[in-house]
Amino acid sequence: MPDLVPQWAAVVPVKGGPQAKSRLALPGAARSDLANAFARDTVAAVIEALEGMPVLVVTSDPAATSWVATGGARLVPDPGLGLDAAVAAGCRVAAGDGATRIAVVLGDHPALRAADVRVALEAAGRHPAAVVPDADGLGTAMLTLTVREGESTAAVRTAFGAGSAAAHEALGHVRLDLDLPGLRVDVDDARSLAQAVRLGLGPHTTRALARATVHGVQATIHRIADDGSGSALLDDGVEVDLPPDAAQRSGLRHLRVGQRVSIELDESGAAATRVWITGIGPGEDIH
């Protein structure tokens, strides 16, 4: 779609830092690493979508700024006033560079593919402003808007946050419920991460997830049967299955409800492949 290139620009806000993706039940460093990987895969897909389309990454996170320029995007400093202000900052730069159509995609779509972006832009291009809701139908996966020649970007209004899909509809964006799961799955918790895993993660997230699961995620035993089967609650409240052999692999025989454990999740993110307690069992010596 080369005719789209001169008018479209993309804005990708990236929060980053130790507070990013706080609903994922991982240590702060692992969460930060994973959030950074989500953003890299998102930006890579957007860059690949339309050759020549400017992609502006709005962030002040040092980990993100280190890869933005080398990845083919342009860095815009985050003013630090929240997500809507970050989007506005990106829109100002994009409009100043001559873009008349802007697509906003948050940096948490690790299963995003370039084809998803192309289809979404083609559909959104039929409307002055559009919103593609996330998989739950409540949040915003992509927001598109028009910046008219001579119009100040101060007139651009967005409403990111809880219930943003409906809020953007109220602002005049046409709702587009597109069948694009790679775009519509944004990752905030274990459930949405499992959805993204099933769709197929980008390379950066695949590597980061492997690094994170080496150390396990923290959980609390929720149900336990005599054979060792049951379930555990991740720190974000998601319940995952415990097959009977998951604890036995670590030499554990007497788990109890309420006990804190480390678990390794399978590819679906819905079941444990291993359960252990630091310092107990093979490879868990305390030095």
Q: Digits of tens for pLDDT over the chain (287 positions)?
A: 445 555 899 999 998 765 666 666 555 567 788 888 999 999 999 999 988 899 999 999 888 888 997 878 999 999 999 999 999 999 999 999 889 999 999 999 999 999 999 999 999 999 999 999 999 999 999 999 998 755 555 567 899 999 999 999 999 999 999 999 999 999 988 788 888 988 999 999 888 887 765 556 778 999 998 888 899 988 767 788 898 888 776 667 678 899 998 887 775 667 888 888 765 444 443 32
Rounded alpha-carbon distances, angstroms, from residue 2 to 9, 21, 74, 144, 149 = 13, 35, 20, 18, 21
Which residues are registered as beta bridge partners of 11? 56, 104
Residues whose CB falls within 8 Å of the CB of residue 175, separated by 6 or more in sequence, listed in order: 130, 131, 133, 165, 169
Q: What is the pLDDT of residue 219?
A: 84
Q: How far is CA 82 from CA 15, 89, 149, 159, in A?
A: 9, 11, 27, 11
Quote the CATH superfamily of domain 217-276: Nucleic acid-binding proteins (2.40.50.140)
Query: Is residue 202 a known part of a binding site?
Result: no
pLDDT at 28: 57
- Listed by start position, the domains of the chain span 2-206, 217-276
For residue 206, the SS3 value is helix
Give the distance from CA 277 to its chain's centroid. 29
Residue with tokens 């994973």: 34
- Give the integer Cα–Cα distance in Å for 148 and 151: 5
β-pair partners for 5: none
Q: What is the pLDDT of residue 245?
A: 82
65 labeled part of a ligand binding site = no
Q: Return the structure tokens found at 64.
A: 């993100």
Whole-number pLDDT of residue 281:
46
Contacts of 56 (CB under 8 A, 6+ apart): 9, 10, 11, 12, 73, 74, 75, 76, 90, 93, 94
CATH of domain 2-206: 3.90.550.10
b/e code 196-224 from CB counts within 10 Å (16+ = b)? bbebebbebbeebbeebbeebbebebeeb
Residue 164 known to bind ligand:
yes
For 76, the token pair is 């815009």
Give the distance, in angstroms, between the CA of residue 110 and the centroid of all CA atoms in the same chain: 6
Provide the pLDDT for residue 269: 67
Tokens, residue 173: 């964006």
**CA end-to-end span of the chain, whole Å?**
60
Decide: 184 and 132 in contact? Cβ < 8 Å: yes
